[in-house]
């Protein structure tokens, strides 16, 4: 009986191997032995059968549970971003890209081997609790994250609206004993509605002087980001905006198409914004500016920091390489890999790293990041004050006193750079004006063949 079950199981896995792997067969290394697939599939089938037959807890050894556990382990062993998506994870991913989901309102990632907060979303449980970028998550509901993979951590953080989550966090403070303060927060999950574009405004005269400088912050790249940005820019342009600051600090990324559309608003049509390179020809792609509606060619300063990742790095790399913006701040996170989502049927899917991103000048982003043109490092304390100043929740008296000390040196440097560009352009225009006038006068007094004065020819 056992042999019969093993035979059936092996047959099933060989069929699965054939269905999922036939397209990639030719891309497998030539050094791989022809019978390696057979031996590996046999080993997998034997282990699964032994687990089903002898494991002490029968409720944990269904074919579905064991198969999905094996898939999760296989993909998590590749990199932090590849993931098997079960029914719940697949639905969550689809909801997130549409700008609404249930959760804590925090974006997490792995940095220097630790699980860290990349960005707390405004008007969310995480944002209102005062969680900051760079906070390390030590425990989730009492369970240590030390050996926890990123997909497992994300799954642990997700849940239904109304459910509670207990987080133990470490906030790095250079002068503190042990390197920082450990604290706990209890969050209640709720429906998060993501607005990508925030704080669109004209900067006050106290900062911008006589210049009319617009400011807009992009929190992440979703389906509606392009339209939201168009609406914000049109309002600023009607207010007479001459220069623009785009704030991508703590932006964790999002949809590739959205990032390409945002960069394309400030670039000529059809210019390459980002390219990808993977193992197969269909993963070698170029993504070009395709936005029909162009905005005026005003000077742009882009704010970035160590938690600007993925889509934010694509925008920053393109506008820097193509000389369309000045980058101010700190080197970005360095998450420049492409995850392709493949539905597998029955409500499950696969998120797999298939390529890496490259800027228009063919520089890699992954594990390198985008360096600013003007480096302005700030302390963790300054970072926290800036985020407190941006929050919409009521502040405690202590927080209000802290915010009163806020000095956004990165924004101030971006503004001074834009003002310098404006002064330089005006002076260059003044220097070139007499030369153009002289040339025009010379053209308008050219001689006709009969010796009379003739109008200048159009050139």
404 domain-assigned:
no
- Which of 240, 245, 252 minimizes the C-alpha distance to 199? 245
Q: Which domain holds residue 139?
A: 100-193
- Confidence label for 439 from pLDDT (cuts 50, 70 and 90): very low
Q: Distance between CA atoms of 187 and 189, rounded to whole angstroms?
A: 6
18 domain-assigned:
no
| pLDDT exceeds cutoff 70 at 99 | no
Catalytic residue among 136, 139, 158, 335: 335
Strand partners, 345: 348
Half-sphere exposure (CA, 13 Å, Cβ side) for 244? 27
Say if residue 122 is in the same domain as residue 146: yes
What's the whole-model pTM score?
Answer: 0.73
Say if residue 244 is in the same domain as residue 284: yes
| pLDDT exceeds cutoff 90 at 90 | no
Neighbour tally for 192: CB within 10 Å? 22
pLDDT tens for 372-415 read 999 999 987 788 788 777 776 666 777 777 777 778 999 999 99
> SS3 string of the chain?
CHHHHHHHHHHHHHHHHHHHHCCCHHHCCCCCCCCHHHHHHHHHHHHHHHHHHHCCCHHHCCHHHHHHHHHHHHHHCCCCCCEEECHHHHHHHHHHHCCEEEECCEEEEEECCEEEEEEECCCCHHHHCCCCCCCEEEEECCEECCCCCHHHHHHHHCCCCCCEEEEEEEEECCCCHHHEEEEEEEEECEEEECCCEEEEEECCHHHHCCCCEEEEEECCECCCHHHHHHHHHHHHHHCCCCEEEEECCCCCCECHHHHHHHHHCCCCCCCEEEEEEECCHHHCEEEECCCCCCCCCCCEEEEECCCCCCHHHHHHHHHHHCCCCEEEECCCCCCCEEEEEEEEECCEEEEEEEEEEECCCCCECCCCCCCCCEECCCCHHHHHHHHHHHCCCCCCHHHHHHHCCCCCHHHHHHHHHHHHHHHHHHHHHHHHHHHHHHHHHHHHCCECCCCCECCCCCC
| pLDDT exceeds cutoff 90 at 454 | no
Say if residue 265 is in the same domain as residue 322: yes
Question: How many folded domains does the chain comprise?
Answer: 2
Report the CATH number at residue 308. Answer: 3.90.226.10
Say if residue 227 is in the same domain as residue 326: yes
Catalytic residue among 119, 310, 337, 417: 310
360 domain-assigned:
yes
271 domain-assigned:
yes
**Pick from 350, 375, 400: which residue ends a domain?**
375
Say if residue 186 is in the same domain as residue 202: no
Say if residue 321 is in the same domain as residue 176: no
Report the CATH number at residue 129. Answer: 2.30.42.10
The predicted pLDDT at position 400 comes to 75
**Pick from 375, 404, 426: which residue ends a domain?**
375
Q: What is the arithmetic mean of pLDDT over 310-338?
A: 96
* β-strand pairing of 348-358 with 272-278: antiparallel
Say if residue 180 is in the same domain as residue 232: no
394 domain-assigned:
no
216 domain-assigned:
yes
Say if residue 128 is in the same domain as residue 262: no
41 domain-assigned:
no
Least confident of 105-109, 290-294, 333-337: 290-294
- Confidence label for 434 from pLDDT (cuts 50, 70 and 90): low
Query: What CA–CA distances, in Å, run from 206 to 150, 209, 336, 407?
Result: 44, 6, 38, 13
Say if residue 176 is in the same domain as residue 240: no
Say if residue 108 is in the same domain as residue 240: no
Q: Is 310 a catalytic residue?
A: yes
| pLDDT exceeds cutoff 60 at 17 | no
- Which of 379, 369, 371 minimizes the C-alpha distance to 408? 379
297 domain-assigned:
yes
- Which of 331, 332, 329, 333 minimizes the C-alpha distance to 412? 329
Q: Is 321 a catalytic residue?
A: yes
Say if residue 229 is in the same domain as residue 292: yes
**Pick from 193, 209, 242: which residue ends a domain?**
193
Query: What CA–CA distances, in Å, run from 79 to 76, 89, 325, 370, 371?
Result: 6, 18, 32, 21, 24
Say if residue 151 is in the same domain as residue 114: yes
More confident of the two residues 238 and 134: 238
pLDDT tens for 295-312 read 899 999 999 999 999 999
pLDDT tens for 343-375 read 999 899 999 999 999 999 999 999 999 999 999
Query: What CA–CA distances, in Å, run from 46 to 42, 51, 53?
Result: 6, 9, 10
Catalytic residue among 199, 230, 257, 321: 321
- Confidence label for 100 from pLDDT (cuts 50, 70 and 90): low
């Amino acid at each position: 009986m056992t042999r019969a079950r093993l035979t059936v199981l092996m047959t099933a896995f060989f069929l699965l191997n054939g269905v999922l792997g036939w397209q990639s067969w030719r891309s497998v290394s030539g050094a791989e032995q022809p019978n390696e697939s057979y031996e590996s599939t046999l080993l997998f089938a034997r282990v699964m059968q032994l687990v089903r037959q002898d494991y002490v807890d029968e409720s944990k050894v269904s074919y579905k549970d064991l198969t999905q556990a094996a898939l999760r382990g296989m993909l998590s062993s590749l990199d932090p971003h590849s993931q098997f998506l079960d029914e719940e994870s697949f639905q969550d991913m689809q909801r997130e890209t549409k700008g609404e989901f249930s959760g804590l309102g925090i974006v997490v990632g792995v940095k220097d081997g630790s699980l860290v907060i990349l960005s707390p979303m405004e008007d969310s449980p995480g944002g209102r609790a005062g969680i900051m970028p760079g906070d390390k998550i030590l425990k989730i509901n009492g369970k240590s994250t030390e050996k926890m993979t990123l997909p497992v951590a994300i799954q642990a953080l997700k849940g239904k609206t109304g459910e509670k989550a207990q987080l133990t966090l470490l906030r790095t403070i250079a002068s503190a004993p042990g390197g920082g303060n450990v604290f706990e927060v209890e969050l209640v999950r709720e429906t998060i509605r993501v607005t990508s574009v925030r704080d669109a405004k004209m900067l006050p005269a106290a900062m911008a002087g006589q210049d009319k400088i617009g400011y807009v912050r992009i929190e992440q790249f979703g389906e509606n980001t392009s339209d939201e940005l168009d609406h914000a820019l049109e309002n600023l342009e009607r207010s007479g905006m001459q220069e623009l600051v785009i704030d991508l600090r703590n932006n964790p990324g999002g949809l590739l198409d959205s990032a390409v559309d945002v960069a394309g608003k400030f670039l000529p049509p059809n210019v390459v914004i980002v390219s990808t390179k993977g193992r197969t020809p269909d993963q070698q792609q170029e993504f070009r500016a395709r936005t029909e509606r162009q905005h005026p060619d005003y000077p742009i300063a882009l704010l970035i920091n160590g938690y600007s990742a993925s889509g934010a790095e694509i925008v920053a790399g393109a506008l820097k390489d193509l000389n369309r913006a000045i980058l101010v701040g700190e080197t970005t996170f360095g998450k420049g890999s492409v995850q392709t989502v493949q539905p597998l049927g029955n409500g499950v899917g696969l998120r797999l790293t298939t390529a890496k991103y490259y800027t228009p000048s063919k520089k890699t982003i992954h594990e390198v990041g985008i360096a600013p043109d003007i480096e302005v490092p700030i302390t963790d304390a300054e970072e926290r004050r800036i985020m407190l100043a941006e929050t919409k929740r009521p502040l405690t008296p202590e927080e209000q006193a802290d915010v009163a000390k806020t000095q956004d040196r990165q924004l101030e440097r971006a503004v001074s750079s834009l003002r310098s560009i404006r002064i330089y352009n005006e002076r260059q225009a003044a220097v070139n004006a007499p030369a153009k006038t002289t040339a025009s006068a010379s053209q308008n007094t050219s001689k006709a063949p009969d010796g009379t004065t003739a109008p200048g020819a159009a050139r």
